[in-house]
Amino acid sequence: MTKLVKYTLVYDDKKQKWALENDATNKVVKIFSTKENATKGGVLARVLGDDGGSVKIQKQNGRFQEERTYPREKDPAQSKG
């Protein structure tokens, strides 16, 4: 099984927007005006494309809220999520 690319959805205080960052490269993949715009209706799945990945979603205060895997079938069987 191939390893999933890991991403984090973080709040950028300077820009006052939400950024999806690649954890390995620290590069911003996409900017969103609100967290709701990033997490609703499969938006993250479309941004990640066919390769998918694992997205850690932070709260505005920097604490982790949840982690999502796209597409769902790539979620490791041993995880509780």
Neighbours of 37 (CB within 10 A): 13
- Report DSSP state, residue 74: G
Tens digits of pLDDT across the chain (81 residues): 568 899 999 999 999 999 999 999 999 999 999 999 999 999 999 999 988 999 999 999 999 999 999 887 777 666 555
Q: Which run of H or of E encompasses 36?
A: helix 35-39
The predicted model scores a pTM of: 0.86
